Amino acid sequence: MQDQNATAKTVAVKSTAELTGETVETAQSEHAPRVAIMGWCDRAARIEGPHPALTHMNIQGLTCSRVSYLFPLSLRGITFLVSLYNPKAGESFTVQFRYSDGAKAFDITMNLAKSQLFDPERQEYVDLNAGTEAHGWYFVTTQVANDVLITKPDTLNAFLTSPTGEQLLGSFNFIHASLPPYSADQIAALRSDPLARRIIRVRYSCTECGAKLQTYAGLERNKALEDQGYCWFAELGEEFHCDCGKLSFALQYMRSGLHGVLSRSLTPDDQAAGDYIRLYETTKLEDDSRQFKALLDRNAPEEVLQDFLEAHPIFFSRFSASRLIPKPKILTKYVADFAILNQRKELQLIEIEKPGIRLLTKERQITADLQHAVTQVTDWIQEVNDHRTAVLSSLEIDLKEVAVVRGVVIAGKSPSDDEGARALRRTFSGEVDFYTYDDLLRDITEIIRRVANA
């Protein structure tokens, strides 16, 4: 991996963060450091205000810990928030990050090109001269622009180094998120995510000897990739060592976590060292939408719709599924059409009815057929609440994963008038939600737009 420069983007202080390889072994300084590492953030953006004094930096997700499915983890694109005390143009600060065993991870060197403060009389930012009086702490962001690798989860200590000594600035945690192989219902839930990944590919190479490691994870194995030399992540060995000895790392973290990148469940995405292939393209979604509409137009039987939705879980995208189970048994008494466990710890039991079912009477009351579906779902909810431990155990769902049980009825087409739509909303205001098949089709229209713009 080649070292490159990372530029700090700020109005008041412009600096360059440069990764170096020197090791510093000097005495600890007794003075308070003039540099504070506040942490790294998900995003940092300069926001222009209506007045020059209101220009500011918008920081999101500031933290001293980072969780990743992937190690080695590239720091490319990570933004550090740094605070400098009385910064002056021409100054330079070097911060070294070390693993818990004392080995150096990387350095950041900040060279200050200029320093500015807002002048209220002139209504603008002005350069500070060498003789300007002290002005306290000032924030600056520095973004890593190259593939600096953190080879393992660990707690890194940051030291401000100088020819006269070094000072401890703080500790920063890199945490590994491991998970077991995806189950069939978890894969179905992933397929309901319009921005899910089908494949994540990772490649590491030594800049000295050229030795490389290529691995991938996916919703299924890919022979074409394996023919190109990519190894299925679960079949990796114990360690990678390049021929010259410059690059080496354990492979256990990729074996137990690389497939997690497919789910987009961590924020921000920790996959800067690899690239991914999305599960959906607009042409595929448009074709699925046409097929679904054709089924609805001919009032296809419920079992046909069941099979289609099992094969095309993207139509359940609105439910934010973490698990999607077709035909779940509620003990020996009932069988729902689908069960969805979502990211809000809601277990949703879904009943699908024919698209041609009549929803409302002339008096704007729900029909007997629709009421029967609602009553059925209500019975399911009651059964789960009465025997929650047994039901969840039979579905292989941990008790702590479910905070509430709700029902969903999907049936018919949306009323053509506002009063009919309001009547349905008034009826479904409790523990059972209602959607028409038109709602699912509208979801796909929005999904196509999102995928096209992703």
With contact defined as beta carbons under 8 Å apart, do 339 and 396 qualify?
no
Average pLDDT along the chain:
85
Task: Look up residue 374 and give its amino acid.
Answer: V
The whole-angstrom separation of Cα 393 and Cα 371 is 30
The whole-angstrom separation of Cα 434 and Cα 411 is 8
259: pLDDT confidence band, cut at 50, 70 and 90? very high
pLDDT in tens, 47-104: 877 776 677 778 888 999 999 998 999 888 888 898 888 887 778 889 999 999 999 9
Q: What is the pLDDT of residue 422?
A: 75
Closest among 237, 199, 233 to 70, alpha carbons compared: 233
Of 207-221, 335-349, 362-376, minimum mean pLDDT range: 362-376
Q: What is the pLDDT of residue 435?
A: 92
pLDDT in tens, 123-148: 766 666 655 555 788 888 888 878 88
Closest among 220, 60, 83, 227 to 142, alpha carbons compared: 83
Closest among 178, 182, 207 to 193, alpha carbons compared: 182
Q: Which helix (H) or strand (E) holds 114?
A: strand 104-119
With contact defined as beta carbons under 8 Å apart, do 412 and 436 qualify?
yes
Q: Is the pLDDT of residue 186 over 80?
A: yes
Of 116-120, 339-343, 352-356, 367-371, minimum mean pLDDT range: 116-120
pLDDT: which is higher, 4 or 40: 40
pLDDT in tens, 292-339: 999 999 999 999 999 999 999 999 999 999 999 999 999 999 999 999
Task: Look up residue 307 and give its amino acid.
Answer: D
pLDDT in tens, 391-422: 999 999 999 999 999 999 999 988 777 777 77
